[in-house]
Structure 1
């Protein structure tokens, strides 16, 4: 590991941060373990190398090269490595892919199809489908769509699932009725649950932002005889009204949550409701809506509501959102606890301890977290206190594995990109305060929330993330939705200004990083 870091530092990467080095260390350690060499674990770990280098594209390609077919250092006979490498390359280049990378991924997808036979090439087909589609997000590329359709018709669970999702990714928001009809027609010819799920999710991406134009298709899907297509119809209703708080749609989704007999339909309806509110200025109303849902007797509704709160309130440190999560952080179902811990990490992305301490009252009461090993947490904790809780839960071998995984994911969100990135679906705006000296607390309390623009790349990251509950490699796509936390000043020509001053009405300590976590060895 040290040799690897030394090599890349010697190649000119002087901005190779401590956080990146620690990330490489953990991933290389995982690659050396026996468990990671089995099934799809290695696929996810190799793809993670692309995520770490999303802001260092050249370094990322070098790191992945030994896991990319026909590249320097590549070895034949490692299908999961190769699939993960192609997936990681797609994640690395998803925002603004270079032409040569797009050409390479197109060639790999075509080559994988040429060797498609039996079940001998499924891993590579899966990785190539995901990687190539991520490099062609919302391009409406007909050739790529045709290649992915050929893999879909192959009718094998994982490759066909990835290809179907890829068709939605490539044609995001296109609302191609002919393609939608093809996907719905194929749903009657396959018996594979994964493919049926992916058809619904792919259509939800095709109809994104189409509003009332897609209601005929959505109504047909919701009344479909297949449960998974109905789920896709509900999700499509949410993505069609993405960032559009239409009261009629909200009422319809709430009616589905209450009235449908299927737990999975309820789950998808809650996530669809999340997409309707996501990135809008209706932040307070959204929390009021999910406050009703998080008290549900149905654990799938509570799970989806906890997940949605994390996405909607990401990077805000909002007290009201946190209070909702604390209602279920000791839930009787481990899946709900997992969602609460993940969302806890999301809410504190980019938040410093000072931001919370300025608003927290003295002698704040605490709650007990956990059953066997109890940890006390203040009602309005600081990010450092949350991080310590997540580390404790992740290391607690007596706790349920689902809870421990949730703590690890939450920890990843909390410290994402070395605490330099956030999901930030809403932005904090400080209103003018007429007081002569309102103080820090007064300034923070005079804030209001406004919506944020969510690009196609970020939207696809959110949609795919909501599907990770049934196949964990999908969680990697949430990194597509990350945005940097920085103030960048440029001239109208896109150049750095020669003379630039910034007046800051806050103490600089308000933006401090978290204190480094020390592990005794």
Structure 2
């Protein structure tokens, strides 16, 4: 049979009057359309006419052919419309590119219409296709049910919000537990509507019931989103009541929950655990008493002695069970309160501190103004976050004392970052700076800094004593500067607690209408109510913002409103829309922050589009900069998409948009060293505008966090760029500020932390999001840079036994040591002392000197050669050792507990084969891992606990005298 070279003959049949000829032509064209679509496209209008002709018997066939033509023309919406009109002729189960594309477009269009997308609804209503589209989707579902593709059904049902289909899939599947677990993860990860998400999660939790094989981690995460701490406490108590092995699972579960939950939720679990303990002890006591009374009344004579013996055994067994339960609950409380994690992380930071003081010394030597002085203090705090090492400040007291006013406030507050987690000695560490009753200080900068530092030490986990102390200082102070520090400290200590007593105290300060204290009070009010979307708080802040004339207070309100909306998805939309239309640019910026924080980590394309629109439409540069910066929050789970989204904005004519683009890349790509982000940021280091260079430097500092030269060769070049920028006397102060802060970020936490906007389970960390949002306000107020410490998360692997102690053991890293090694320390530069320039020398004297020099050189050549070549001004003290070839390095490395393990390194981590411990869950998740002891009878060796040094401990004790010989 000869090959068909053209469809023109068949196309001509469409012009015939006979319906049979037209039907014949359509059937032929349906088979040939994939090859000759370019010819058939010329008569697509005729084919459309046939599909719309009610008297034509094969209207559906004409619609199918038209759909295929539009598919090849990449007009997918039209292809979908005619596929819907084709009804059963459109085979949804066919395995072809055409069907796959149209089905995907149908699901997208249906999902948008279900989510009440105005454009999608208008398009479907205009074409009168809404009901017919749903019929097509139902056919797709039926095909999946026939093939038992339940996970595909779950995905589409969640995307299209079809709870009826989801419930049918859960009813029909054979492996209900696996599908429910899959559903929970999918709902938490992808559903961006709070009402629907909660509705589905409630149904899934009910279906699980008391199944012993349930994924407790997924259930507890679901309960966290449902804000049900009592049910989480029930699960934990259920586990610890079963056995010691189950108790280890409960400990690990509590650790994972605490890692990603706000303070208010953990407080709820703690209260529920306490009530469970009290309730169980009372119940056990009443049951044992009633049993004893029954036995006594029903027994007489000789049997009383044997019964009393059995009663004693039962009583002792019950006492043992109760004691064991109390011990487990006490251990759980340590985890739920965060005490255990704080202690373990403090030990990790101190044991693995690799901060390079020489870098700070170099920066200090080149600092020439107050801006860079403050930047150096902040950088030092970030570098030593949690390490308790304030050596740099103590050895440079004279230099630090040059700070004045708010710079002094920043310097004292930096101690809070350095001593983060050092809670037991916090008051002693800050004793010299906290307010005293007999204090004669009139300025209050030191005391305010001390109160701010106290809040930083206890950030997100303030004890009752600390909160009461800060409230007392806030109420007692009449100094506006001290109120500022007290408000910040109180807000930090009570982040997300939703405590009304604290909120009311802060509101009282706000109503003083003082610019300095009011700014901190408004921000702190937002911190206390973080993630609550409490309409009373929102209304009070918006109303006060509309009335006040102080821009500082407005800035505090702006950030406070953003924090309140954190993680609430569509709930705050009504007041966000009003703020975005407000005449006041600061309140519009508040709307931007609230929008970004509400959808933080969702990757919501609609939200990203709204932020992009604001960045183009708004007339205020601050609002535009904020809108672009906040793209990083929304797209944090999709760093590559964020880079694509802002790629054009990095070349914008507006420097504020360029700055925002840089910051958004830093937020979304922190710790990833994403090549696309580096490619966009590197040219911005040479931007003509100084604050754009600052933003690029800070962003690259975030991107390169925890990346060695072996992992990312450009990391070494960036470090050199930072030092060059800092030391260049012609560089602008703003760019130097960015370089200094970037170095602090790069080496944060003794080179042991990264920015943890996402938890190890890939959920958004509310605390980290808040810390980063407030950190961005360094544009207006340098002291707020310290809030970045809230976003730091240790890159560690810590093993603990079931007694919550760190046993001595080694982790195995199955890779070359150089790949994940710490960056090498900075080499000290030795400057050769410049000789005095000689005076003008006559020619005969010069010749004589040359002869003497030549004779001396000949004499030296006869002796042994010098070991070192003469150094120049820029040469190092010693030549760096040549790098070992990779082939010389071992393919594994032992890392002692607690170990610094990078996120990329987790995939190669194992325990030794002869290890006496086994982990409750995989080491690849990182963080704190509970270990079961396989050799319980043997004595355990524990990791030695390092005691943090408190400033002044050594100075109180006189130094021993130098050795000497005594003679009479």
Instruction: Give me the TM-score of the superposition, normalised by structure 2.
Output: 0.45
Say whether the 8 Å CA contact 1:67–1:84 is kept in structure 2: yes
CA drift of 1:426 comes to 5.8
Q: 406, 410, 415: which is aligned to 1:49?
A: 415
Q: 664, 667, 679: which is aligned to 1:311?
A: 667
Task: Output the CA distance in 1 between the equivalents of 2:766 and 2:572.
Answer: 18
Instruction: Please name the residue that 1:478 is paired with.
Output: 788
Task: Output the CA distance in 1 between the equivalents of 2:397 and 2:425.
Answer: 19
Instruction: Please name the residue that 2:330 is paired with.
Output: none
Say whether the 8 Å CA contact 2:421–2:458 is kept in structure 1: no
Shift in alpha-carbon separation, 1:110–1:414, aligned structure 2, 3 A = same
Q: 578, 590, 594: which is aligned to 1:220?
A: 578
Say whether the 8 Å CA contact 1:316–1:348 is kept in structure 2: yes
Secondary structure of the residue aligned to 1:65 is coil
Task: Output the CA distance in 1 between the equivalents of 2:755 and 2:814.
Answer: 24
Cα deviation digits, residues 309-331 of structure 1 (max 9, x gap): 11211111222211111121100
Do structure 1's residue 26 and structure 2's residue 395 form an aligned pair?
no
Task: Output the CA distance in 2 between the equivalents of 1:482 and 1:49.
Answer: 16
Instruction: Please name the residue that 1:334 is paired with.
Output: 690
Cα deviation digits, residues 61-95 of structure 1 (max 9, x gap): 43321001139x97644510000111011011103
Instruction: Please name the residue that 1:468 is paired with.
Output: 778
Shift in alpha-carbon separation, 1:198–1:385, aligned structure 2, 3 A = same
Instruction: Please name the residue that 1:252 is paired with.
Output: 610
Do structure 1's residue 401 and structure 2's residue 766 form an aligned pair?
no
Shift in alpha-carbon separation, 1:139–1:326, aligned structure 2, 3 A = same
Q: 432, 442, 445: which is aligned to 1:80?
A: 445
CA drift of 1:260 comes to 1.8
Q: 450, 454, 459: which is aligned to 2:769?
A: 459
Which is higher, the Rg of structure 1 or of structure 2? 2
Q: 449, 454, 459: which is aligned to 1:94?
A: 459
Say whether the 8 Å CA contact 1:31–1:45 is kept in structure 2: no
**Which range is displaced more, 17-26 or 471-480?**
17-26
What pairs up with 1:194-205 in 2 under 5 angstroms?
194-205=552-563
Cα deviation digits, residues 209-264 of structure 1 (max 9, x gap): 11111111001111112111111111111111111111211111111112222211
Shift in alpha-carbon separation, 1:248–1:18, aligned structure 2, 3 A = closer
CA drift of 1:37 comes to 3.5
Instruction: Give me the TM-score of the superposition, normalised by structure 1.
Output: 0.81
Say whether the 8 Å CA contact 2:480–2:517 is kept in structure 1: yes
Cα deviation digits, residues 372-399 of structure 1 (max 9, x gap): xxxxxxxxx13x3322221121121211
**Which range is displaced more, 154-163 or 183-192?**
183-192
Say whether the 8 Å CA contact 1:94–1:457 is kept in structure 2: no
CA drift of 1:451 comes to 7.5
Say whether the 8 Å CA contact 2:757–2:765 is kept in structure 1: no
Instruction: Please name the residue that 1:447 is paired with.
Output: none
Cα deviation digits, residues 159-193 of structure 1 (max 9, x gap): 00000000000000111111111111112221111
Do structure 1's residue 343 and structure 2's residue 699 form an aligned pair?
yes
Task: Output the CA distance in 1 between the equivalents of 2:493 and 2:736.
Answer: 33
Say whether the 8 Å CA contact 1:171–1:206 is kept in structure 2: yes
Say whether the 8 Å CA contact 2:356–2:826 is kept in structure 1: no
**Which range is displaced more, 489-498 or 331-340?**
489-498
Shift in alpha-carbon separation, 1:303–1:62, aligned structure 2, 3 A = same
Instruction: Please name the residue that 1:118 is paired with.
Output: none
Do structure 1's residue 105 and structure 2's residue 441 form an aligned pair?
no
**Which range is displaced more, 161-170 or 313-322?**
313-322
Q: 226, 233, 242: which is aligned to 2:600?
A: 242
Say whether the 8 Å CA contact 2:633–2:667 is kept in structure 1: no
Secondary structure of the residue aligned to 2:777 is coil
Q: Which runs of 5+ in 1 are unaligned?
A: 1-12, 116-120, 358-380, 428-449
* Cα root mean square deviation, aligned: 2.5
CA drift of 1:502 comes to 4.7
Instruction: Please name the residue that 1:362 is paired with.
Output: none
Task: Output the CA distance in 2 between the equivalents of 1:20 and 1:43.
Answer: 25
CA drift of 1:154 comes to 1.0
Say whether the 8 Å CA contact 1:87–1:130 is kept in structure 2: yes
Secondary structure of the residue aligned to 1:314 is coil
Say whether the 8 Å CA contact 1:266–1:301 is kept in structure 2: yes
Secondary structure of the residue aligned to 1:350 is coil
Q: Which runs of 5+ in 2 are unaligned?
A: 1-348, 361-379, 381-389, 831-968
Say whether the 8 Å CA contact 2:447–2:482 is kept in structure 1: yes
Shift in alpha-carbon separation, 1:63–1:495, aligned structure 2, 3 A = closer
CA drift of 1:424 comes to 4.0
Say whether the 8 Å CA contact 2:758–2:765 is kept in structure 1: no
Higher helix share: 2
**Which range is displaced more, 221-230 or 31-40?**
31-40
Task: Output the CA distance in 2 between the equivalents of 1:189 and 1:329.
Answer: 41
How many residue pairs are counted as aligned between the two chains?
A: 452
Task: Output the CA distance in 2 between the equivalents of 1:460 and 1:30.
Answer: 32
Shift in alpha-carbon separation, 1:37–1:409, aligned structure 2, 3 A = closer
CA drift of 1:271 comes to 2.3
Instruction: Please name the residue that 2:709 is paired with.
Output: 353
Question: After TM superposition, what 4+ stretches of structure 1 lie above 6 angstroms from structure 2?
Answer: none
Say whether the 8 Å CA contact 1:66–1:75 is kept in structure 2: no
Cα deviation digits, residues 335-362 of structure 1 (max 9, x gap): 00001111121112111111124xxxxx
Instruction: Please name the residue that 1:411 is paired with.
Output: 743
